[in-house]
Structure 1
């Protein structure tokens, strides 16, 4: 079971997400919480995945994200941000701060469960279309020329892997798509992160977006 905590200031959203996710055979919402309750809930229930509202009146979602990212590695969950608008400027700040992606609150139920599975398996949840809209709305953060120069350091195979990382696929799914073993994909991803000089898959995916690598997709 994928243990999940939902953090949102609206009780209706919390109960709705719990109902949808608990309908999946492999997901259990072990707790829901407001922003002020989030850290205590995560410490108590030790979930693998946290879905965190990015804008809450009691405690800012970015502040909660920083607290969760500061937890020791064995107890640090994977965090995806929940937002109403795909052009929310807070999303880029959250991704840079360590979030593993973002979801729109009106995501279809089946896609929501799949997103949780993706997060638990080490993938990223970040709609390429939504992220392009987000970056185009903040041209000062795009750095397209610099991003393109960094992506050019990658081999053709590595660029292909990076595109699939940016689409949110896990190592196993990338391996299936490219007919490679998970170990080989893991080696490619490690090389990509080192060549791009980024800390994780989300930052690599953002670079791919900024470099225009997904422009034709």
Structure 2
């Protein structure tokens, strides 16, 4: 059972996500909270996944994210947003969030997205990520895209699957590799691309056009 905590300042949003997610087999919303209640709730409930509103009036999502990431065994955190302010998302992703969801995400998509997060994958709303491609992992003139050329063919294959939201285990199954080998490839990818985590690597894969190509090969 995947345990989820939903953090949002609006009761209607909290109850809506709870109602939708509890209809998905293997997922349980164990608690909902406002920003001010979030850290205590997460410590008490020990969820696997936290869906966290990025902008709240009492305690904002970035502050909550920092508190969660400082916990000894932090859960996976994905940010909830209406995406009216890019800089908040940029800061959250650099702060360790595993992705972001728009609040108007189709209800039937929420369960699979939560399962992806729980399995160690990344979640990037396609509509929202398009407006971030020029900002992550660096500034528009950052030569990060050219660093993709440093990757081996196998590392590019792994990067594409990572950007599709697959966990290490799922990537291994797809490419017939052990989870340990995939972990080593991911570590090498992050080092070569000079990014801090899987989300930034996934966005860089989009910037480099790897997903458009549908394979790990550069044109």
Could you state the TM-score of these two structures normalised by the residue count of structure 1?
0.89
Q: For residues 153-184 of structure 1, what are the alpha-carbon distances to aligned partners after superposition, in whole Å with 9 as ceiling and x for unaligned?
A: 11122112112211211123223333333333
Unaligned segments of structure 2, at least 5 residues = 215-219
The equivalent residue for 1:18 is: 18
1:14–1:32 CA contact under 8 A, matched in 2: yes
Q: For residues 4-57 of structure 1, what are the alpha-carbon distances to aligned partners after superposition, in whole Å with 9 as ceiling and x for unaligned?
A: 100000000100111111112211111100001000100111111100001111
For residues 140 and 197 of structure 1, the distance between their equivalents in structure 2, rounded to whole angstroms, comes to 9
1:88 to 86, 89, 93: 86
Higher helix proportion = 1
Secondary structure of residue in 2 paired with 1:122: coil
For residues 100 and 86 of structure 1, the distance between their equivalents in structure 2, rounded to whole angstroms, comes to 19
Distance 1:167 1:214, change over 3 A: same
The equivalent residue for 2:185 is: 188
Secondary structure of residue in 2 paired with 1:32: strand
1:200 to 192, 197, 213: 197
The equivalent residue for 1:172 is: 169
Secondary structure of residue in 2 paired with 1:29: strand
For the aligned residues, what is the CA RMSD?
2.2
2:51 aligned with 1:51: yes
Could you state the TM-score of these two structures normalised by the residue count of structure 2?
0.88
Q: For residues 72-126 of structure 1, what are the alpha-carbon distances to aligned partners after superposition, in whole Å with 9 as ceiling and x for unaligned?
A: 1x2x111000011276331111101110000011112221111111111110111
For residues 207 and 141 of structure 2, the distance between their equivalents in structure 1, rounded to whole angstroms, comes to 5
Unaligned segments of structure 1, at least 5 residues = none
For residues 136 and 154 of structure 2, the distance between their equivalents in structure 1, rounded to whole angstroms, comes to 29
Distance 1:53 1:139, change over 3 A: closer
The range that moved more, 192-201 or 60-69, is 192-201
The range that moved more, 171-180 or 55-64, is 171-180
Measured after TM superposition, the shift of residue 208 of structure 1 is: 2.3
The equivalent residue for 1:2 is: 2
Q: For residues 177-215 of structure 1, what are the alpha-carbon distances to aligned partners after superposition, in whole Å with 9 as ceiling and x for unaligned?
A: 333333332222122122223332112223323434335
Note the 1:1-217 alignment, pairs <5 A: 1-72=1-72, 74=73, 76-85=74-83, 88-136=86-134, 138=135, 141-143=138-140, 145-216=142-213
> What is the total number of aligned residue pairs between the two structures?
214
1:6–1:51 CA contact under 8 A, matched in 2: yes
